[in-house]
Amino acid sequence: MFISLRLNIFVYYFITVSLFIGFSYYFFSVLRVENIYLLVIVFACFIILSGAFISKLAIDPLVEYVNNLRNLSKETLHELNLPISTIKTNTQMLNKSLIDEKSQKRLARINSACEMLQERYNELDYLIKKQSDEVIREQFDLVELLNERVVFLNKIYPDIDFNMTCSSLTILNDKKGLAKVIDNIVDNGVKYSPDSKTIDININEKTLTIRDYGIGMDEVELLRIFDKYYQSNKNMQGFGIGLSMVRRFCDKNEIALSFMSKPNIGTTVELKFK
């Protein structure tokens, strides 16, 4: 597809330049046109039309390709929902009939893996909607979302103690995107707290606070945390793009984001909602 596209653009560009040179020679050498303004208007129209045609020739196949890929993603995602639901339903039924402890542990692992798949399914669904420029906003209780994330994160970090002190807060926002933001902040807190097993999560009025008791950062590091691909510790796993994504999300959704940190004391992240 892209080879033929390049070839078509090259051929059309070659023909266009050749015609432009030919018209120029014809007007100046054969017709000896002296009205420079008329020539400028004719050539400007020619260039504009050529540019419009070349852009159409280049963009239309790409638009069709992206639309086909998006439709395929939606259809594939829809088909994935059935096996995930089937696994969840049957594991719930098996859980009622299994008695021995070993089988129940195996079933629990299957359930956990299925929940992970469900999370990936939800994230893919969210990304497809986001790329389609759909408005992804809904009204929800932030405490309920935090409880969901803590349950999920406890399975990944079973040794971490999540201390929650939250008062009810209903907000209108991008729920799935905010869940990813919370996961990212908590993940950083755990990753940079090798000697601490505690994460504090608080909601006070319209502010969500997430605090860790890890290695912390100095003022120089704080200035760079939103830089793409920046990592304060190069030995840590990851690509250093998480906090830049967090900041973009907060800016887009009108959430005031602030970081406070001190070396060897920990880091506090605040998200203030309107």
Domain boundaries along the sequence of the chain:
1-134, 138-272
H or E element that contains 95: helix 36-97
CA distance 128 to 233: 32
What topology does CATH give the domain 138-272? Heat Shock Protein 90 (3.30.565)
CB neighbour burial string for 52-77, b if at least 16 within 10 angstroms, e if fewer: eeeeeeeeeeeeeeeeeeeeeeeeee
Q: Is the dihedral of CA 50, 52, 58, 60 positive or negative?
A: negative
pTM of the full structure = 0.58
pLDDT value at residue 34: 65
CA distance 250 to 246: 6
Residue 139 pairs in a beta bridge with: 172
Question: DSSP 3-state assignment of 94?
Answer: helix
Given a contact cutoff of 8 angstroms between Cβ atoms, the answer to whether 236 and 191 are in contact is: yes
pLDDT value at residue 131: 66
pLDDT value at residue 118: 79
pLDDT value at residue 272: 95
pLDDT value at residue 50: 74
Residue with tokens 């999370």: 119
In tens digits, what is the pLDDT along the chain, a chain of 274 residues? 556 666 777 777 777 777 777 777 776 676 676 666 766 677 777 777 777 777 777 777 777 777 777 777 766 766 777 777 778 778 878 877 777 888 888 888 888 888 778 777 777 777 776 666 555 788 999 999 999 999 888 888 888 999 999 888 999 998 888 998 999 899 889 988 988 999 999 998 899 999 999 999 888 888 888 775 455 554 544 434 578 888 988 998 899 999 999 999 999 999 999 8
Task: HSE, CB side, 13 Å, CA atoms: give it for residue 14.
Answer: 6
Which pair of tokens denotes residue 145?
């979302």
Query: Can you give the three-state secondary structure of 187-212, one letter per residue?
Result: HHHHHCCCCCCEEEEEEECCEEEEEE
